[in-house]
Chain A
Amino acid sequence: MTAAARAAECDVRVAIVDDNLSLGGQIWRRATDGSMPDSVRWTERLRAAKVTELCGLRVFHQPQVGILLAEGVDDIHELRYDKLIMATGARERFLPFPGWTLPNVMGAGGLQAMVKSGLPVHGKRVVVAGTGPLLLAVAAYLREHGAELLRICDQASRSSLARFGVALLRQPGKMVQGLRLKKALAGVPFATNSWPVAAQGEQVLESVTISREGTSETIACDYLACGFHLVPATELPSLLGCEIENGYVRVDDFQRTTLPEVFCAGEPTGIGGIELALVEGQIAGLAAGGRADEARSLFGERKKRRAFAQALDRAFQLRTELQRLASPETIVCRCEDVPYSRLSQCSSWRAAKLQTRCGMGPCQGRVCGPATQFLFNWNPDSVRPPIFPVRLESFAVTAGVSEPVYQEVTGGHG
């Protein structure tokens, strides 16, 4: 959103595309309760600059340079661009353990998204587990909405988290956030060196067993919100041919990828949280809009925010014990129900795909990819279109058999 607003303010025609029902990606998702003033400010700025808003569209293919195909609910859109800024965000990393496929075991961000989408949690017993700062933010959010927080468990060590806390204090605004979280979570048991070992239940989740420094404890609960930090969404950049380095999109100082007209900002260039994403977005928007000097003026802020990204990386490394949580029968690929035992016999991601169908289901490796990368040290394959499952009609458009909707981008700063 910051990229779109800034670019449009450079007097160019800008459209913004979001897969979701409204703008804001995951963090600003339907933030109508006034809790996110930045979201309001940038939405107003984007609208004042007359950015064309295209929601509910899923980009799945680039048939030729400068043209993207996106699927909507009932139609296919062809989006033509001179310059492209990608801010495809991140998703949670899920790791398998016995019982993780039970209904009501969700991601940490996943349960929060469901509550934001209307799921009532008042009086429901919740355990939050996994790793990363998202756990605390989610726990506080759920508690504010009436959930009974039984436990928060982070697999990180006490010393890692203490070091992270120190790094946080160096970031403007973070100390206030930190204190607010501490207050919001007063009285909720928080354990480090702790992770889920198994979830139990007949048809739905009924309890979860948590390991903590050698001992186990089984806790009856209604929801388990479990996610192991974030991984970047690099499918679209990969598809376009941008260079990916160590799993992240390689960009220069102006957030330009290795493709000259394509920029990338936010989590795909490095997991660093929202403040970093906001400034990277602005730099990309200004650079794409031709205002390099204004972009340069934000380099200092970006550098400061990047320190936070590095601190995040260090603090929430996954411990090796998590590689041994899955039993041989534990499903690792949820789409195709491939168990750990079958995958452990495969030598690579590609071999696993061919022999077991792992990664070939609807999620196209978005869930099992990061998991198997951690479990077996596999590197994912190259990406092929469509990068999302699409309707057959979309293939017809790709083949030139039927016509898409042509989206005209109007606007620009008046």
Chain B
Amino acid sequence: MSNLLTVTVNGVAVEVASQATVAVAVVLAGQACRTSVSGQARGPVCGMGICFECRVIIDGKPHCRSCQILCEPGMEVRTDG
């Protein structure tokens, strides 16, 4: 049985299952993880930490591969869009 926890993505609260990754929270929030160098919206692709498309800012720390990081209650996630 999974519990739920809440993180914020660009200031908006998102509820996820415990043990969910930050990438899941961003996708559930309907946000793109990052903007590419030519301005394209990008989201997770490989799901295993090698493509780096899922990079977000977590609690102020940039370049976090969100597919490799578990959500924690109260985490503040920002995308660079």
Binding site for B on A (CB under 8 A): 19-21, 26, 30, 91-92, 94, 101-107, 109-114, 117-120, 203-204, 331, 334-337, 361-363, 366-367, 389
Contact between chains at A113 and B42 (CB < 8 Å): no
CB pair A110–B46 under 8 Å, yes or no, is: yes
Q: Which of A21, A94, A118 is in CB contact (< 8 Å) with B68?
A: A21
Partner-A contacts on B (CB < 8 A):
16-17, 19-21, 23-24, 27-28, 32-33, 36-38, 40-53, 55, 63, 67-68, 70
In the complex, what distance in Å separates the CA atom of A44 from the CA atom of B20?
Answer: 25
A114-B47, A119-B24 given; A334·B70 CB < 8 A: no
Bound state CA distance, A30 and B16, in angstroms? 17
Give B77 Cβ to nearest chain A Cβ, in Å: 14
**Residues in A whose Cβ lies below 8 Å from that of B17:** 118
For B40, give its contact among A101, A111, A336, A367 (CB under 8 Å).
A101
In the complex, what residues of A have CB within 8 A of residue B23's CB?
114, 117, 119
Which residues of the partner chain A approach B43 to less than 8 Å between Cβ atoms?
103-104, 106, 204
Contact partners of A91 in chain B: CB under 8 A: 46, 48, 50
Asked if A92 contacts B38 (CB within 8 A), the reply is no
Q: Which of A103, A117, A337, A389 has a CB less than 8 Å from the CB of B41? A: A103
| Least distance between A15 CB and chain B CB atoms (Å) | 20
**Complex Cα–Cα for A205 and B39 (A):** 16
Q: Could you tell me the dominant secondary structure of chain A's interface residues?
A: loop
Inter-chain contacts of B49 with A (CB < 8 A): 19-20
Once A119-B24, A337-B38 are accepted as A-B contacts, the answer to whether A362 and B48 lie under 8 Å apart by CB is no
Contact A363/B52 with A107-B46, A114-B47 known, Cβ cut-off 8 Å:
yes
Interface CB pairs A-B, < 8 A, 7: A21-B70, A106-B43, A106-B47, A117-B20, A118-B24, A337-B40, A366-B50
Which partner residue on chain B sits nearest A223 by CB separation?
B27
The residue from A21, A94, A114 contacting B24, defined by CB atoms under 8 A apart: A114
Distance in angstroms between the alpha carbons of A105 and B24 in the assembled complex? 14
13 more contacts with CB within 8 A, not counting A106-B46, A107-B46, A109-B48, are: A20-B48, A91-B46, A91-B48, A101-B36, A109-B46, A110-B47, A117-B20, A117-B47, A119-B24, A334-B53, A367-B45, A367-B50, A389-B63
B42 touches A103 (CB 8 A): yes
Q: How far is the CA of A338 from the CA of B47 in the complex (A)?
A: 22
User: Inside 8 A of A111's CB, which chain B residues have their CB?
Assistant: 47
A120–B28 CA distance with the chains assembled, in angstroms:
9
Q: How far is the CA of A101 from the CA of B45 in the complex (A)?
A: 9
- Nearest to A26 among chain B residues (CB) is B48
Docked CA distance A30–B17 (Å): 14
Cβ 8 A contact of A109, one of B32, B38, B47: B47
CB-nearest residue of chain B to A56: B68
Tell which of B27, B40, B48, B55 touches A113, judged by Cβ atoms closer than 8 Å. B48
- Chain B residues whose CB sits within 8 angstroms of the CB of A337 once the complex forms: 36-38, 40
Interface pair A110/B44, CB less than 8 Å apart: yes
In the bound complex, CA of A363 to CA of B44 (Å):
13
Decide yes or no: A203 and B41 within 8 Å by CB, A114-B67, A117-B67, A119-B24 being known contacts.
Answer: yes
Please indicate which of the listed interface residues A26, A113, A336 has the most CB atoms of chain B within 10 Å of its own CB. Answer: A113
| B65 closest partner in A (C-beta) | A362
Q: For the complex, what is the distance from the CA of A312 to the CA of B39, rounded to whole Å?
A: 39
Q: State which of B21, B42, B51, B68 has its C-beta within 8 Å of the C-beta of A366.
A: B51
Q: How far is the CA of A26 from the CA of B48 in the complex (A)?
A: 7
Chain A residues in 8 Å Cβ range of B63 = 362, 389
